[in-house]
């Protein structure tokens, strides 16, 4: 059973409606489907327009959702460029529009958090075992003991001439015409630093 979301409902310059309040509460209870860690929700139903007799002819609903570290806000108000006739005249429709908008924001926010928390693939490490400065290539030895070819163009920041045998590097592996090779090579430790005993000490 999901936890109830604490909700505050305010009617501003409009008559309090029990049925409208019930609709708001029902829509609030649906919000955890889109983001389960909602702290609280505040909903304001207010008059957006009135006629000459001061009767309400349009409604605006604002929904504020508190989540850890952020506040998400949505409203049923017309967007910039829309005419006043775009203001919703049915308060129930205004509630539905506002909640559709905030549900969309919650889904987007949840997706953003998932993307940020997704573990990034760690580039494997290896040690340079051979260098041919004249022809511009070399070989790496991986932790598993495999020899991987790399061309000087694969070294980041044009750093091939600064490489030394024994340097610790991270690399990206691709399948070349003659077998596996490193598409990028980046130094993370200079010679003399050994990775899990890849280079035997003499």
Query: pTM of the entire structure?
Result: 0.55
Q: Tell me the domain boundaries of the chain.
A: 7-117, 125-189
Long-range residue pairs from 84-92, CB within 8 A, at least 24 positions apart, any chain: 84/49, 84/58, 87/48, 87/49, 87/58, 87/59, 87/60, 88/48, 88/58, 88/59, 88/60, 89/57, 89/58, 89/59, 90/59, 91/14, 91/17, 91/20, 91/45, 91/59, 91/61, 92/20, 92/23
Over the chain (202 residues), the average pLDDT of each successive run of 10 is 82 90 96 94 86 71 93 76 58 93 93 75 84 94 92 91 92 82 87 42 36
Q: Which of 2, 57, 3, 46 is nearest to 24 (CA)?
A: 46
Q: Which of 42, 40, 31 is nearest to 2 (CA)?
A: 31
Residues 1 and 93: their CA atoms lie apart, in Å, by 29
Which pLDDT tens digit goes with each residue over 127-150? 999 999 999 999 999 988 999 999
**Cβ pair 31, 63 in contact under 8 A:** no
Which CATH class for the 125-189 domain?
mainly beta
Q: What is the CATH number of domain 7-117?
A: 3.30.160.100
């Amino acid at each position: 059973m999901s936890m109830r979301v604490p909700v505050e409902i305010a009617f501003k310059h409009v008559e309090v409606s029990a049925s409208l309040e019930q609709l708001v509460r029902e829509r609030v209870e649906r919000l955890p489907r889109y983001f389960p860690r909602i702290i609280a929700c505040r909903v304001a139903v207010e008059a957006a327009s009135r006629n000459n007799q001061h009767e309400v002819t349009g409604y605006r609903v604002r929904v504020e959702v508190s989540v850890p570290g952020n506040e998400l806000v949505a409203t049923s108000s017309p967007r910039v460029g829309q005419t006043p006739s775009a203001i919703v005249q049915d308060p129930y429709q205004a509630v539905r529009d506002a909640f559709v908008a905030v549900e969309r924001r919650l889904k987007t926010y949840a997706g953003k958090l998932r993307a940020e928390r997704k573990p990034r693939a760690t580039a494997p490490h290896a040690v340079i075992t051979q260098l041919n400065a004249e022809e511009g290539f070399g070989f790496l030895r991986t932790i598993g003991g495999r020899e991987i070819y790399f061309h000087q163009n694969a070294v980041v920041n044009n750093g091939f001439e600064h490489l030394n045998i024994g340097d610790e590097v991270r690399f990206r592996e691709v399948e070349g015409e003659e077998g596996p090779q490193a598409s990028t090579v980046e130094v993370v430790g200079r010679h003399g630093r050994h990775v899990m005993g890849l280079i035997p000490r003499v």
